[in-house]
Amino acid sequence: MTRLIIIGPPGSGKGTQAEHIAAHFNVPAISTGDIFRSNVREQTQLGDEATRFLDRGEFVPDDVTNAMVRERLADADANGGFLLDGYPRNTSQVEALDAMLAESGNHIDGVVLLLVDDDELTARMLNRAREQGRSDDTAEVIRRRLELYRTETAPVVDLYSERGIVADVDGSGTPAEVTDRAVAAVERLLER
């Protein structure tokens, strides 16, 4: 059973790597974005609650997010493990996830932390913005998103670092190279 989290700044290729790493370990990649969209599309009670916040451009509150993640982790495909992408985003979500897993005697086995320098991240996101016609992704907006990521994510990474389960992975290079490095780093963590 492998229970993983992937963390990385915007533009680091986190979504792509989540899919590849999860496939290697034969566990589902679980994205909070996908969970939100599924609940909204199916008009669940949690989806309706989330929509009220999403429609105003606000973060979905922790209690709603935690409840959605709890439901998703209860699905049969997650019984043998999972890779979480986009959760936990703050220390209270770390505590909620710990409590969820402790109920079944489990814990997080490893955290993949994708590291890419700001210049490369900015170039990737500006390129993606051009390809997708996203005029809102300017260099200034991207810098702000990176600052927010660091502010919000640093405490989460610190908590998991204290547990000795963070694998720093160079996120530069081809997707296949990054996947190889990430898989090797996770395998080293799991061997301990």
CB contact set of 168 (below 8 Å; sequence gap of 6+): 113, 115, 185
Please name the residue that has the structure tokens 């996770």.
186
3-state secondary structure of 73: helix
Name the residues annotated as catalytic: 14, 89, 128, 134, 145
Going by C-alpha positions, the residue among 169, 192, 165, 164 that lies closest to residue 179 is: 169
- Alpha carbons within 13 angstroms on the beta-carbon side of residue 116 total 25
